[in-house]
Amino acid sequence: MVRRPCWVEISTHAFEDNYKLLAQACRARVSSALELLAIVKADAYGHGLSICAPAAVRAGAGWIGVTSVEEGVAARQTLRGLEPAPEILTIGGVFPGQGAEVIAHRLTPVIWEPYHLDELEAAAKATDALPGSIPVHVELDTGMSRQGVELSELGALLERFRKKDESPVRIDGIMTHLYAADERDGEATHHQLDRLENMLEQVAAAGLKPRWLHVGNSAAVLLGGAPETALASLVAIAKRHGMHAMARPGLALYGLVPEFDPPLVREELPLLDDLHKELQPALAWKTQIASVRSIGKDEVVGYNGTFVATEPMHLALLPIGYADGLKRALSNRGYVLIQGERAPIVGRISMDQTVVDVTDIPKASPGDEVVLLGPQGDETISACDHANWAETIPWEIFTSITARVERRAV
Ligand SMILES: *Cc1c(COP(=O)(O)O)cnc(C)c1O
């Protein structure tokens, strides 16, 4: 069936190039042994898991990360037949009843609660899994107070892995999450990594030797490996403990640079400054003009007439609204691109429709392509622009694009 014109285009080349660019820069500038796990949670930040997960693997990712067991199962299915099959990390825990899927689809769950292990052990018993055949990564809470084992509980949790010959579950990795990698003074990160080292001493004292240590999101990766940065510390800590270091970028793979505090300009990105190619946004969001009309001075536009024409105007109707994920906060604030020009959104964005001012684009007519996110002519609107207009963050802009918007790989 031909669908209404409202779609996102995902450039798999941009996504693959972004992964390769980051991986090469990390290897050249930080450590030849540093791995990058590609974060493709939440339907690849709204870009489409079935498009981005295979692209990550083609670009060389040996690990991909998703939130839930159900996302992990979907990732395994979409990657079927692609070699080499990557490891799939499920970040958000294992809920009662999910153990069997973890085992059947060879997922690597992040665990931190005793009940996570109870669930996996029970599922293992039901499937006669061999000792040590189910890998897990243990998350340590080093200060974010969100998920992860606290120091006071660590000894008891590690005890569960010590009966190695009996337990079906083996500790394959350790991870923590930095809550302020975008703060350039690095103080919070430094503190977290100190705590990480202390907790790793306990892991070693328990006689456990996990292979992987992973820390760091896009901000940590882009700050690079200069002394005292998160990546340099990660690599040093992993080396001291005989582990492989891995970082977990998300946003940067989709081509966006997170905002730093104090702000960092592109030329200053320590990891990318000597590379000719820069990160490219992988997503463009498009629609077409559905109809055009003219209104006179003092006529109003949209619900509650929040926009009043101060002069005769031309308007274009777009078949897209907040039910597609276009933030209603962009009403009377945001812009779209038509014929390479910026057209302001006027009046309230409705559930399924939006009106823009095309008074200065007199040739605008039904069928014209409209860009909500991405480049057109010499202009570009980015997810950071939408985030600023809507007073949120680009992660939320991407993940707000709803399922009824078609994802097209280009
Ligand atoms: C989402 C997530 C990331 C990626 O974060 P970005 O800021 O998008 O790079 C890394 N690690 C964990 C645990 C996450 O949940």
- Under DSSP, is residue 380 helix (H, G, I), strand (E, B) or coil? strand
What does residue 119 show for φ and ψ, rounded to 5 degrees?
-65, -45
How many angstroms is it from 272 CA to the middle of ligand 1? Answer: 20
The answer, yes or no, to whether any atom of ligand 1 lies below 6 A from the CB of 249, is: yes
DSSP H stretches of helix in 64-209: 69-78, 99-104, 114-127, 151-162, 187-205
Give 78's contacts (C-beta < 8 A, 6+ positions apart).
49, 50, 53, 54
Please report the sign of the dihedral spanned by the C-alpha atoms of residue 136, residue 142, residue 147, residue 149. positive
The answer, yes or no, to whether any atom of ligand 1 lies below 6 A from the CB of 214, is: no
- State pLDDT tens for residues 144-198: 999 999 999 999 999 999 876 788 999 999 999 999 999 999 999 999 999 999 9
Positions of the chain with pLDDT lower than 50, given as ranges: none
Nearest CA to ligand 1 atom 13: 177
- Out of 1.10.3720.10, 3.30.2010.10, 3.30.2320.50, 2.40.37.10, which CATH number does the structure's domain 283-409 have? 2.40.37.10
Instruction: Please indicate whether residue 41 is annotated as part of the active site.
Output: yes
Best of 18, 248, 257, 393 for a ligand 1 pocket test (most atoms within 8 Å of beta carbon): 248
Instruction: Please indicate whether residue 254 is annotated as part of the active site.
Output: no
Residue 248 CA: which ligand 1 atom is closest?
Answer: 10
The answer, yes or no, to whether any atom of ligand 1 lies below 6 A from the CB of 142, is: no
Residue 110 CA: which ligand 1 atom is closest?
Answer: 13
Whole-prediction pTM: 0.97
Per the annotation, does 29 bind a ligand? no
Strands 341-346 and 369-376: unpaired
The answer, yes or no, to whether any atom of ligand 1 lies below 6 A from the CB of 31, is: no
By the 8 A CB rule, do 229 and 190 touch?
A: no
According to CATH, where is 3.20.20.10 located in the chain? 12-278
Q: Which of 179, 277, 303, 322 is catalytic?
A: 303
Q: Which of 19, 20, 41, 179 is catalytic?
A: 41
According to CATH, where is 2.40.37.10 located in the chain? 283-409
Q: Which two tokens stand for residue 237?
A: 């800590």
The answer, yes or no, to whether any atom of ligand 1 lies below 6 A from the CB of 253, is: no
Nearest CA to ligand 1 atom 4: 250
How many angstroms is it from 152 CA to the middle of ligand 1? Answer: 25
* End-to-end alpha carbon distance in the chain: 20
- Separation between Cα atoms, residue 56 and residue 284, nearest integer Å: 19
Query: For the chain, percent helix, then strand, then coil, each to nearest 5?
Result: 35, 25, 40
Per the annotation, does 80 bind a ligand? no
The pLDDT value recorded for residue 176 is 98
Q: Which two tokens stand for residue 110?
A: 């992040």
What is 12-278's CATH superfamily?
A: Alanine racemase (3.20.20.10)
How many angstroms is it from 182 CA to the middle of ligand 1? Answer: 12
